[in-house]
Amino acid sequence: MKKIALQFLLFSCFSVSVLAQWQQSAGTAGLNMQSLLTNGISNFAGGQTGTYLSTDSAANYSLSNTGNDNVGPTRCFTKDNNYIYTCTSQGAFRSSDNGATWVSKSVGLTNLLGSGILKVGTRLFYVGPTGVFMSINQGDNWSAAGLSSTDVRCISAINDTLFVGTNGSGIYKSIDWGANWTAINNGLGGSTNFRAIESKGNTLFAGGQIGTGVYRSTDFGLNWKLLGGGLVSGSYRGFASNSQLIVAGSFGAGVFYSTDNGNNWTKINTGLTDLTIFDLELNDNFIIAATNTQGVFRFPFSNLNLSTGIHDIDTLSAISIFPNPTTNQINVSTNLELIGSIYNIYDCTGKSVLTGIINSEKTTIELSRLVGGIYFLFIGENQEKAFKIIKE
């Protein structure tokens, strides 16, 4: 009996040691992978040879590319309640059967070569060498949405505000669905090439060019700061985030994660056989990485210390705001844990217009001096969730 128990203990320890590092996903060895998406129990990966699908938490992938681009790489994914979408060298594709088959959806795109695709509300956005395109009918038709002479490489959003990174022109923002774009490059130090941008609550992270690193903005892109705290200098091509952490993938230096919104970073490269990361994704149990030459890898959350820097999402979900829309004031109802927290209200340009303290379970905030429009309320030190306010 003791011998069996000892064997079980040794097996358990061995299993933990194996799971405590990156594991290559079966079916992807030797493949170039550039994009990832989690959709429930399904995990998609895309790259030079098309789209692959896993239904076992990224342990095994198989080709799922029927009808999708089979000439060039699948560079990005997005989804809505009905479809999965790809951004490829041959335009946009859409699947209604979770990747079993794909249909081309590129009417209106002036250049099929795509760099990114993103769902924002009921709209889709597609970016590439001839700027930004928008679809209001799930990809059936596309129309130009600005920056037509700009090589746009990535796109993200905070609520209704769009952010894009470009090749040679820095970062831009639009608050009117692409009708107008504003350059937001303060603090970028001359860095003009950005291939990855990520929104985590009201915080933006952007991956700069070779010799720079990861930049962060906490004011809707008005100002940027180059981060250190354990990050190495270099080019960064992929991000992933949730309420607990932000993960960054570099070109040649592997993967780093932060649990304090980017102040400090930890490198996690054990088991990775390719340190050039093109994209990152999260599912319920793993960080997933798409690499340049060695396919897909996964890393278990169980091996991370996620007790530090985690913002209590249950606390955030306990917040309610009324009336909304409003004419003069709003009432913020919270639980006891948030009493004493700082609140900030920003306008659509990212400018802070009002700040104060949550002083009770029901705090009244006076808005009479603000002009009519859309504002965003953030509560707490981490400010990871925005509450949209309409001032009439």
Domain of 249, CATH number, reads 2.130.10.10
Do 352 and 298 reside in the same domain of the chain? no
Examine residue 71 and state whether it is found in any structural domain, yes or no.
Answer: yes
Tell me, yes or no, whether 156 lies in a domain: yes
What pLDDT sits at residue 343? Answer: 86
The answer to whether 196 and 238 are in contact (CB under 8 A) is yes
Structure confidence at residue 334 (pLDDT): 81
Residues 336 and 283 in one domain: no
| Three-state secondary-structure class, residue 17 | helix
Residue 316 or 90, more confident: 90
Confirm whether 175 is domain-assigned: yes
Domain count, the chain: 2
> Is position 234 within any domain?
yes
- Whole-number Å distance between alpha carbons of 126 and 113: 10
The answer to whether residue 6 sits within a structural domain is no
Query: Distance between CA atoms of 71 and 118, rounded to whole angstroms?
Result: 22
Statement to judge: residues 27 and 97 lie in one domain: yes
pLDDT of residue 281: 97
Q: Write phi, then psi, for 3 (nearest 5 degrees).
A: -65, -40
In the prediction, which pLDDT does 312 show?
A: 40
Answer yes or no: do 208 and 348 share one domain: no
Residues 344, 226, single domain; the answer is no
Region 273-298: what's the mean pLDDT? Answer: 96
Q: Return the CATH number at 321.
A: 2.60.40.3080
**Do residues 120 and 90 both lie within one domain?**
yes
Task: Please answer whether residues 383 and 201 qualify as being in contact, where contact means their C-beta atoms are separated by less than 8 angstroms.
Answer: yes
Longest dimension (CA), the chain: 77
Domain coverage including residue 336: 313-391
Whether residues 198 and 156 share a domain: the answer is yes
Q: Is residue 124 part of a domain?
A: yes
The residues, any chain, with a CB within 8 Å of residue 22's CB and separated by 6 or more, are 268, 269, 270, 271, 272, 289, 297, 298, 299
- The DSSP letter of residue 146 is S
- DSSP states of 253-316 as a string? S-EEEESSTTSS-EE--TT-S--BEEEEEE-SSEEEEEESSS-EEEEEGGGS-TTSS---HHHH
**Residue 186 main-chain phi, psi, to 5 deg:** -70, 120
Using an 8 Å Cβ cutoff, are 204 and 159 in contact? no
Give residue-wise pLDDT tens across range 302-313: 888 665 333 344
Q: What is the mean pLDDT of residues 30-48?
A: 96
Residue 62 in domain: yes
Query: How confident is the model over 140-167, as pLDDT tens digits?
Result: 999 999 999 999 999 999 999 999 999 9
**238 and 181 assigned to the same domain:** yes
Residues 291 and 227 in one domain: yes
Q: Which of 235, 269, 303 is the last residue of a domain?
A: 303
Same domain, 120 and 161: yes
Q: Of 270, 303, 336, which closes a domain?
A: 303
Are residues 169 and 40 part of one domain? yes
Strand ranges of the sheet holding 182-183, from the earlier edge strand across to the other edge: 152-158, 161-166, 171-174, 182-183
Domain boundary among 282, 303, 324: 303
Give the mean pLDDT of 220-244. 94
Task: Look at residue 8 and tell me if it is in a domain.
Answer: no
- To the question of pTM greater than 0.95 for the whole model, the response is no
Same domain, 291 and 175: yes
Give the CA distances from residue 203 to residues 54, 66, 127, 181, 200, in Å, rounded to whole numbers and listed in that order.
30, 37, 22, 19, 5
User: d(Cα 113, Cα 45) in Å, to the nearest integer?
Assistant: 18
113-150 tens-digit pLDDT:
999 999 999 999 999 999 999 999 999 999 999 999 99
